[in-house]
Amino acid sequence: MISGRQTLSSIDQAVNDARTRIATIESQIEGVNGRLAELQQALTQDYKDLAQVRVGLMTDPETLRHLDQAERQALALLSQRESALRELETKLQSADALRQTLERERSAQAARLDAADAAVDAAAARIQTRLDADPDYRRQREQATEAERLAMHASEKATRSEEEREQKGAAFRGDPLFLYLWERNHGTPEDKSWGLFRALDRWVAKRIGFADARANFSRLNEIPERLREHARGLQAGAESEYAALKALDEAARAADGIPALERIVADEQASLDAIDERIAHAESDQQVLMARKALFAAGEDEHTRKAVNFMAAEFQREDLMELRREALATPYPEDDLIVGRMLQREDERRQLAASIQGLKDAILQQQKRLTELEALRSDFKRSRYDRAGSTFGDGDMIAMLLGQFVNGMLDRDNLWRILREQQRYRPQQSDPTFGSGGYGRGTVWGGGSGGLSDIVGSFGRSGGGGGGSGGGFRTGGGF
């Protein structure tokens, strides 16, 4: 078993690992792009060497000067790229430093919130101990428990009677002659039939034994209504006794200053929420910068594209194409040596371009994983799974699952589902089901920032009820 903060630390480590992987791939792409730039410069030099070898055959003496000018312009564009990259890396360092500062602030604020929560819990535990020894409180709790028991029993009895009415009443409702006389109120002062019709009704009633059947059907309908009315009365009494017990709980809490402590908890929670919002904005800004950095690493930034496109256009100039064609067409060994180098460089360039595409695909996958991990971490913190008392059952399994997620073997939804299944809260000092908290109507105990008391309260409201050392009554959901 590991704590929620240890689990959050594992998620943080997975985020850092994902960033390291991205940085490694970016470095590999930078290296390949650097080699491509070297090949481009070497190819420019090859053209210059080829022009010098064939200078006597050239009709345009400006070719060498044009190559020098093109090379200087390409280098200027790449120099602009380096300046822009340095500026971007400075922004990235600042963004990362801000995020780390905010994370430290959050850790300190989370500790303050946990301390405020603990103060509420300890105060509630002291009050519960005192109330449990108070004869007047115990008497009211017993009255509420007994009233709840009677109300539950009466409601169950009324429900059984209603079910019996439906079952046994089917035979009466299925008899058309009985139903005809029943709907005409035969045999009662409300019967409005006269003359021949009344005589015929009497004849039918006598044939089917309507008088006894009407009495039985009337009782079958009346008994559930009376029982339900009785149950409502008992439920009203139970609500009154419960309200009196809850008032004692709330008065004791107010006398010991718990509402003031809870306001401190609310303020600390608001401060934590504000830091989390700042962290979310900082991470969003950092992701934008990292995406721009990835463009630089992939050679897809504006400056690199301009340099590459410029030199590609230069190499397609007619005078350079003609220079190469003439070199290939003549048997001079000096030409052949230079052209051979150019062909080798082009082969290497194609191989490097293919490897870059694979690295780009890999970095896109890692960036997607990083985004999902950061979203998972935000959900984890938003759910306060890192709070004091939060635990996870199997630390080794969580570490393994995070590794599988980073490696693409597990998706975010399943990872989050497993984390939620593994998460538990250690018992508090106070009992959320104490006194009025044990009647399936929520709880006044544990009004901090959430946790076990919230779970118990919502469980009770959804139909669970609750008992415990405080003497609450299990109602199966209350009435």
For the chain, give every domain's residue range: 132-260
The two tokens of residue 162 are 């209603």
Predicted local distance difference test score (pLDDT) of residue 218: 84
What is the band of 254 on the pLDDT scale with cuts at 50, 70, 90? very high
Give the three-class secondary structure for 392: strand
What is the band of 70 on the pLDDT scale with cuts at 50, 70, 90? low
pTM given for the model = 0.65
DSSP state of 435: G
Cα–Cα dist 218/181, whole Å:
13
Cβ contacts of 116 within 8 Å, gap of 6 or more: 261, 264, 265, 268, 448, 449
Rg, Å, the chain Cα set: 41
> 43-79 burial, b if ≥16 CB within 10 A, otherwise e?
bbebbbbbbebbeeebeeeebeeebeebbeebeebbe
Cβ contacts of 204 within 8 Å, gap of 6 or more: 177, 180, 181, 210
Closest by Cα among 119, 60, 22, 46 to 344: 46
Closest by Cα among 455, 433, 444, 435 to 258: 444
Cβ contacts of 327 within 8 Å, gap of 6 or more: 50, 54, 335, 336, 338, 339
Region 250-259: what's the mean pLDDT? 94
Q: Who wins on pLDDT, 185 or 441? A: 441
Cα–Cα dist 479/159, whole Å:
13
The two tokens of residue 124 are 């509630």
Give the three-class secondary structure for 424: strand
Predicted local distance difference test score (pLDDT) of residue 327: 59
Which DSSP helix (H) or strand (E) runs through 390? Answer: strand 390-392
Cβ contacts of 73 within 8 Å, gap of 6 or more: 310
Q: Which region among 200-209, 296-305, 389-398, 465-474 has the lowest average model confidence (pLDDT)?
A: 465-474
Compute how many other C-beta atoms are within 10 angstroms of the C-beta atom of residue 289: 17
What is the band of 196 on the pLDDT scale with cuts at 50, 70, 90? confident
Closest by Cα among 440, 471, 431 to 152: 440
- Which tens digit of pLDDT belongs to each residue from 77-130? 778 888 988 999 999 999 999 989 998 999 899 889 989 988 999 999 999 999
The two tokens of residue 14 are 């997975």
- Which tens digit of pLDDT belongs to each residue from 408-419? 788 888 888 888
The two tokens of residue 321 are 């194409």
The two tokens of residue 352 are 């490097």
Most confident of 12-16, 31-35, 356-360: 12-16
Give backbone dihedrals phi and psi of 425, rounded to 5 degrees, phi first: -115, 135
Sign of CA dihedral 43, 45, 47, 50: negative
Q: For the purposes of burial, counting CB atoms within 10 Å of the CB of 381, is it exposed (0-12), middle (13-18) or buried (19 or more)? A: buried
